Amino acid sequence: MDADRAFKDAIYGQIARVGRAVAHPRRLELLDLLCQGPATVEVLARKSEMSVGSTSQHLQHLKEARLVQVQPQGAARQYQLSDAATCELFLSLRKLAERYYADMRALTEAFLRDRETLEPLDADALQQRMQQEELVLIDVRPAEEYAAGHWPGALSLPLDALTARLPELPRDRTVVAYCRGPYCVLALQAVTTLQERGFQAIRLADGVPDWRAAGLPLSQGSDPK
């Protein structure tokens, strides 16, 4: 093998490390979760509905490829993305799949067909509507994800606390719920709950990773009550 060929094989071999690391749907889900903010393996296991052992193994593959890293957090260890480029990689893969694979569109349309009575908003449509009417924007992700980054002015109303906190929401305004992105079901469940109780509610389809990639300003910190 000549030096040129050896060089090319070595370079493309390094690039292939990234491909091998993300070539599993569960690892992509973990990257999507980590785009929301750092988390322990136990939290990631609960959110992805995997065992702690399986979650740890998948994280190890991502760590070996240097896509994630571990940071001590008191007595616990938190996983986080190595940098913003890792989330950008996930978003690029997601958008390519949306663009090229009819199966992905068909799965999404079939899943949403009987679950949404209104078209979802995107960030541009949200900003336009906010100029025309007073909306109530709620973030239904867990509180730690909200604290890591959220739409400015959004209220933190985690899905598991939504029913108990419904009296906090005005009934004379449209409530816009968002979660982790277009394939997160938390906002869908929130909209269903709100509509069943007489609220005018709609889902915001995209999430923090999309807004961050678009350069939109985000807020951090807990929700002042």
Residues with a known catalytic role: 179
Sheet holding 174-178, edge to edge: 155-156, 135-139, 174-178, 201-203
Strand partners, 138: 155, 177
- Alpha carbons 19 and 9: distance in angstroms, whole number: 15
Going by the DSSP 8-state scheme, the letter that residue 169 receives in this structure is S
> Which residues, in sequence order, are CB contacts of 153 under 8 Å at separation 6+?
137, 219
- Alpha carbons 169 and 199: distance in angstroms, whole number: 9
CB neighbours of residue 114 within 10 Å? 7
Q: Is 72 left (phi over 0), alpha (psi -120 to 50) or beta?
A: beta
Six token digits for residue 178: 């968002």
Phi, psi of 37 (to 5 degrees): 155, 170
Phi, psi of 192 (to 5 degrees): -60, -45
Measure CA 132 to chain center: 28
With beta carbons less than 8 A apart as the criterion, state whether 34 and 81 touch. yes
